[in-house]
Amino acid sequence: MSYIRKTGKHWQCLIRIKDHPNLSKTFKKHEDAKRWSIETELKIRREDAVPNPVLSIRRPKKGEPRNRRLTEVELSLLIRGNHTTEVMRTIMQIMLETGMRSGEVVRISHDHLKGRTLHIPITKTVPRTIPLTQKGLDLIKNAELPFNTTVDAIGKKFAKICKKYKIKDAVPHDLRHNSLSDFMRVKNLNVPETMLIAGHKDPRMLLRIYNNLQVEHVAEKLK
């Protein structure tokens, strides 16, 4: 709402609108004050009617973290099936034994081995050195490294294999999820120990996996 009042020889216009700062301006003529009040009030109300496109932008919500765990039957088909090549078989087994990402596996070499540990120089986060199971160590020692393939090629071959075996909603990264789950479920590693292998900076992902495993364990006891 606007108000016009005379102050000495001038006319002062005041505009007060809810949720907006008060505005005022002084004019020599009453008609100038009246014109300014109408134009200014209309402008403010138009701006209120049209949402600010910048303020309306909201950061998209993060999707639910993927929680796919391959079953023993699915793993048996992937690793032992006739449609799986030797190279893919070795890559998948290394991912299961080490918890490495496919992009890390394709870059390893025998020079990265030191005793029972493997140095991973190129990672999604920072370079790390991980301990190896005996099976993981044997797989890497006996593999022809570096693998003559790419992450994209692994993804396509994995999808093709899954289609052959009728395995649905599976991606190579699920092998890493299985591996990290088994480090806690089978090897009884705690979250900080598993973080050392996974290369996670944030423990929340592993805590979620750990909590899910605890629920499954209790459910087994209730049978």
Report the 10 Å Cβ neighbour count for 44.
Answer: 15
| pLDDT number for residue 49 | 67
In the chain, where are the structural domains located? Answer: 2-56, 72-221
The identity of residue 163, as a single letter, is K
CATH architecture of the domain 72-221 equals Orthogonal Bundle (1.10)
Considering only residues 77 and 185, tell me which one the structure prediction assigns the higher pLDDT. Answer: 77
Considering only residues 108 and 211, tell me which one the structure prediction assigns the higher pLDDT. Answer: 108
| pLDDT number for residue 60 | 63
Ordered alpha helix ranges (H), 106-203? 134-142, 151-165, 173-185, 191-198
Task: Report residue 222's pLDDT band, with 50, 70 and 90 as the boundaries.
Answer: low
Q: How large is the average pLDDT for residues 20-39?
A: 87
Measure the CA angle with vertex 66, ends 158 and 218; round to 5°: 115
Considering only residues 97 and 41, tell me which one the structure prediction assigns the higher pLDDT. Answer: 97
Share of the chain above pLDDT 70, in %: 86
**30 vs 38: CA distance, rounded Å:** 13
